[in-house]
Structure formats: C-alpha cells, structure tokens
Structure 1
C-alpha cells in the first residue's frame, strides 16, 4: 500500500482507520546517528525544543471514502530530521485541523509563537498526532483536534457542532485531516478569549489569534495548505 492517495485535492472522508504499529519506524531505525547529530544542532539553535513522542506514517491510502494507514511512535528529534529528508524517506506526516467557525462564519486561526519551529506561521490550532491520541491502537482524530485547540487557545470544543464528515488534503509535505467545528460566539469574541488565555500562559505556544473573514482574506505567514481550506470553507462545501 505505502502511500496511495490523490494529491492536491480535497477529499471527503467518512472514516479514518490509521493504526499505531508498536514497532519502530524504519526511518528511525536506519538514521539513528544522523537523528542524534541533527538534534544536537536543533537544540543549540532553539533550546526550547522538547524531544517528545509524535507519530510518523509508514503507509496511507484512500479507499472508498476512508483513510487507511499505519504509523509508528517516534521522538520529535526523528521528526525534525525527517523534515529535512522527507523525499524518498518511506515516511510521511499526517495531522489534524479543527476548522474553527465562529457564529458570524469567520474562521479563527492562530499565529505560532517565536520559540516554535513554525514561528510566525498561521494555521488552525493543531499538533502532530501523539500516542495519547490513539484508542486501542486506532487514532481518535477528534480527540487530537479538541486537545490541541484547548492546549494552544484555552477553548473547549468538546460540545461544539461538528461537520458531518472529515475531509483531507494530501500534498508533498503531508496530509491534513480537517473538520468544521462551529460555535455560537463571534470571531471577535473568540479572539478576545484566546488573547486572554495566551496572556496567562508562562510559555505560550502561539502568539495569538488570526481572524479570516472571507476567501481573499489571506494573512501574512499563512501556511500553503491553508489557502485551499479557506477557499473550501467560504465556497460553501459541506
């Protein structure tokens, strides 16, 4: 199977069947020395980095409206080397976005903080899948979405209205799985709440909220994968 899914097109996804393999990822096993040396350099440049556990895919396919795949837990240091050697690495990255829709239909994204690897970049509050996001070996995408939004913004989306299904966009840089989360508050009110939360954090992950009010409202620093998602939302696709 390896990686068999259409690229650069938004796909409707009715189920995500991505399972956690307890064995090591072949990329981690084959590049141990290079991972250690690269991490030494990364830490020297940014001491705030933490070598926690994330997951990398070894397989992903799109079958009959389902994403089916296999992943392995790796250290963040492994992920950082993979980012530099992703081509023909036998590994890919998947992550999730809760597309936060305010009561006035504006989108609320975030700008990453200065000590992160994506400093100044704009996207929906998100993070890589971690082992905690798996239930009996199967990824719980909504758990990941809700957890990451809470950690980065202080907002609790557990009772928000969710879109009927997931969607996915796969590019050469990774696969984003996303879903609308609709709340009643206006974008300005959500932004105010996020700003208050960030101000209380000792070491916030994000710089602050970013409101996107229409398809042409593309802020500086917007990650490339975000433009199709913004256009998808304001185009009325459900």
Structure 2
C-alpha cells in the first residue's frame, strides 16, 4: 500500500473517500474540557442560536492507494469551535465536504451564511459538519452528507444531478475539504433563484442566499481562502459534460 501525507494548499484528486469511526473519545476534547467550556460560553453569548450538537473530528488522515483515509471521533460542536480558535493543533483535523454546484455555463453557485451562524457573511458551498447521522456501519457516507446539507440549506436534490466520479481534496490549516462537482442543467441565475425561493419559505434559514462565481476573477466579500483556491482550479479545469 502506497501512503502519502496530505499536501497543504494543493488540490489532490482521489478515487474514493474512506473515513472510519474510532469509538474512543477525541483526545483533544478529553484533554481540554475547561478551555472548551469557557470558549463555548463566549461563542454562545455572541451567537445565541448556536447548538452544541455532535460532530465528527479526526485524529488521523492521509491518502493511500488513491483513496482519502481517516480516523474520526464523535465529539461536540464546542470542541470544534475551540479548536478553530487556536488552530492548527497537532493531532486534530477538521474535515468537511463541499458539493460544488456547476451551472450549465460553467459558473459556480455558492451560498452566503446567515448572520446568526458561526460563520456570518462567509461565502462557500452549501455544507455542514460531518455528523453521526452521516455514518453507515462505522464509515462516513460523504455523498449523503453533501446531499443532506444541500437539501437543508438550498432545497436542491443532488441525487437528480450528474457528478464527477471522484473527488478533489484540499488540505489547509483551516481544515481538509472534500470537493465533488455536480453539473446542473440550468443557468447560474436559475439556480440562484431556486435557492432564494427556498430561503424565503424556510422558517429558520442558515443562509442568506446564493452567490454566483462566474469566472476566476469572482471575489465577493466573505469568500473564504479555500473557496478561492477551488475557484481557480475549477476554471482552469472545466468540468466535462
């Protein structure tokens, strides 16, 4: 088996994603309970809508035989937010999935997070933390996570769209992102309109609406660095249809 570490700030193609649950607690959470609790108190005071639910975080991740592999542990959102405030931290990896919505003209359609979330005003693809609900027999179903988050935030059903067979992985100090491009048979404006219609009737929306990235120069306020790297890669490597 050929193994290699993830390279920082570089798009890496993989054939598959194999992220497995370790039933033991995340060492980081066990070692820092007081600091995590103090930080959560501060975050909750600033954003009362935050919920300290369960999330999956990683103690190990690499690429082996063209497959992203990792070991995850069930912890809480408070641990994630505390880690985020001090990152990077040895032995802790945050991983999340990004389904990239690609319009028929090649434009990307992202979303802007609502002011009541932990990422107010930030622009990235509809996504959320990996959770226990995404596990299937102890293995994360990354496609299901993408489908669930996109449906919740935008109302779109990813299962009805074509996607690339593999994934692109981007590791940064802010976390490891698993991208998959989905081709939608409509214009970017039509996609944005459908997302906006969903937000309008959602009683508790997590997003403010859609943001179109029409070309490699698109740089709306709040566009996160990992999104800028993916934007550049996407327009240099158009999706085959």
Match of 1:157?
158
**Structure 1: runs of 5+ lacking an equivalent:** none
Match of 2:228?
227
What's the CA shift string for 1:91-145, capped at 9, x where partnerless?
1101011010112221110000000111111011011111111111111111111
Q: Secondary structure at the match of 2:19?
A: strand
Is 2:30 aligned against 1:47? no
Match of 2:195?
194
Deviation of 1:237 (Å) = 5.2
Give the 5 Å matches for 1:203-218: 203-218=204-219
Deviation of 1:233 (Å) = 1.3
Is 2:53 aligned against 1:83? no
What's the CA shift string for 1:33-91, capped at 9, x where partnerless?
21112111211111110001111100001123111110101110111111122233421
Q: TM-score, normalised by structure 1?
A: 0.95
Q: TM-score, normalised by structure 2?
A: 0.94
Instruction: Work out whether residues 86 and 92 of structure 1, in 8 Å CA contact, stay in contact via their aligned partners in 2.
Output: no
Instruction: Work out whether residues 87 and 173 of structure 2, in 8 Å CA contact, stay in contact via their aligned partners in 1.
Output: no
Match of 1:114?
115
Give the 5 Å matches for 1:107-146: 107-146=108-147
For residues 87 and 109 of structure 1, the distance between their equivalents in structure 2, rounded to whole angstroms, comes to: 26
For residues 153 and 105 of structure 2, the distance between their equivalents in structure 1, rounded to whole angstroms, comes to: 22
Aligned pairs, how many?
A: 236
For residues 90 and 146 of structure 2, the distance between their equivalents in structure 1, rounded to whole angstroms, comes to: 27
Instruction: Work out whether residues 104 and 186 of structure 1, in 8 Å CA contact, stay in contact via their aligned partners in 2.
Output: yes
For residues 237 and 22 of structure 1, the distance between their equivalents in structure 2, rounded to whole angstroms, comes to: 40
Give the alignment's Cα RMSD to 1 decimal.
1.3
Match of 1:6?
7
4+ residue runs of structure 1 moved beyond 6 angstroms? none
For residues 75 and 220 of structure 1, the distance between their equivalents in structure 2, rounded to whole angstroms, comes to: 30
Match of 1:102?
103
For residues 154 and 102 of structure 2, the distance between their equivalents in structure 1, rounded to whole angstroms, comes to: 14
Deviates more, 1:85-94 or 1:155-164: 85-94
Q: Secondary structure at the match of 2:225?
A: coil
